[in-house]
Amino acid sequence: MLTETASATTSEPAFTVDNFEVRDEDLPEFRDLKFEDINELHLDHPGANDPEYRKRRDYIASLAKKFRETGVITDVDYNEQEQEIWRTVANRLEEIQSRRASKFYLQAKKDLGISNDHIPQLTEMNRRLKELSNFRVAPIEGLVETRGFLSWLSWRTMLSTQYIRHHSRPEYTPEPDIVHESIGHIPMFTNRAFADFSQFIGHGARVATDHQLEELGRLYWFTVEFGLIEEGGETKAYGAGLLSSFGELENAFTDKVERRPFDLDEVINTAYDYSEMQPVLYVVPSYGYLKDVTKRYIQSF
Ligand SMILES: [Fe+2]
């Protein structure tokens, strides 16, 4: 079993890429996560000038910090205003998703018990994830740097925020929030092939050179965040950045976007701009294909 922490360097020992079974006792200590300033709220955030929002966000962030000391996830007692934001966004997204989302994703959301009427707790989702694909989510208080974030996928763990966006703009968030995580990302980890593919990215991140890490970041962007898949002759969305954004999800299927067949070499060499609507997206033929090409790529590191 690998023992190094998220702050892996390029001189790590060899590892096998087929290590899919990660037991809870094999996980590195979460307290060893060394991240700086992850609880920053940038000035352009809609809640930046709302002291009550900041206080609430800080409180929820403190629960993530507590998790790193204790290893125990604390459920968040979401208030009525937060639940209302969830209901508004979840209902609206569901309508678009019913036409545009991958069939697998739509079923997975049900399997995880994610409903439009309340914000799901990480603990609830973890119970089902463990049974379905031996994956898990762990709380984090904000955006972390690429290597640290991606490396945790190597232990079949996704770091997830728990706070929710500001009520003034339910359709928008400049940072990940519980809507993006649990409507965007978490259902896909119930897919074995997708979970294995994610773990390969994590393995790669632990040993990647800085250049390879940049490539991995692009692979992650064009798949985990903005991926499309061919399903029964139709193109559907499975990327979290699409599934959790009304604007991006509708836009992805217009003629403003060029939808290209997935080509790993092209993807890892294609730069993206996170502040703009995506002009080019890549379509994979299946989740198994994505897993296989990524495995071969990571083996070449
Ligand atoms: Fe994301």
| CB 28, CB 138: distance < 8 Å | no
Helix, strand, coil share of the chain (percent; to 5): 50, 10, 40
What pLDDT is stored for residue 143 in this prediction?
85
Taking the C-alpha atoms of residue 128 and residue 114, their distance in angstroms, rounded to an integer, is 11
Distance 244 CA to ligand 1 centre (A): 9
Which are the catalytic amino acids? 180, 185, 225, 244
pTM of this structure: 0.89
Helix and strand totals (H; E) in the chain: 12, 6
Distance 176 CA to ligand 1 centre (A): 6
Half-sphere exposure of 88 (CA within 13 A, CB side): 15
Distance 22 CA to ligand 1 centre (A): 22
Instruction: Tell me the pLDDT tens digit for each residue of 98-154.
Output: 999 999 999 999 999 999 999 999 999 999 999 999 999 999 988 888 998 999 999
- How is residue 25 annotated by DSSP? G
Query: Residues with Cβ < 8 Å from 261, sequence gap 6 or more?
Result: 282, 283, 285
What pLDDT is stored for residue 10 in this prediction?
40
Token representation of residue 9: 């360097």
In tens digits, the chain (301 residues) has pLDDT values of 333 333 444 444 445 666 556 677 777 766 666 665 666 777 778 888 899 999 999 999 999 989 988 989 999 999 999 999 999 999 999 999 999 999 999 999 999 999 999 999 999 999 999 999 999 999 998 888 899 899 999 999 999 999 999 999 998 888 899 999 999 999 999 999 999 999 999 999 998 999 999 999 999 999 999 999 999 999 999 999 999 999 999 999 999 999 999 999 999 999 999 888 999 999 999 999 999 999 999 999 9
Alpha-carbon torsion (105, 109, 115, 118), positive or negative: negative
What pLDDT is stored for residue 7 in this prediction?
41
Q: Which residues surround ligand 1, an ion (CB under 5 A)?
A: 240
Distance 231 CA to ligand 1 centre (A): 23
Distance 253 CA to ligand 1 centre (A): 20
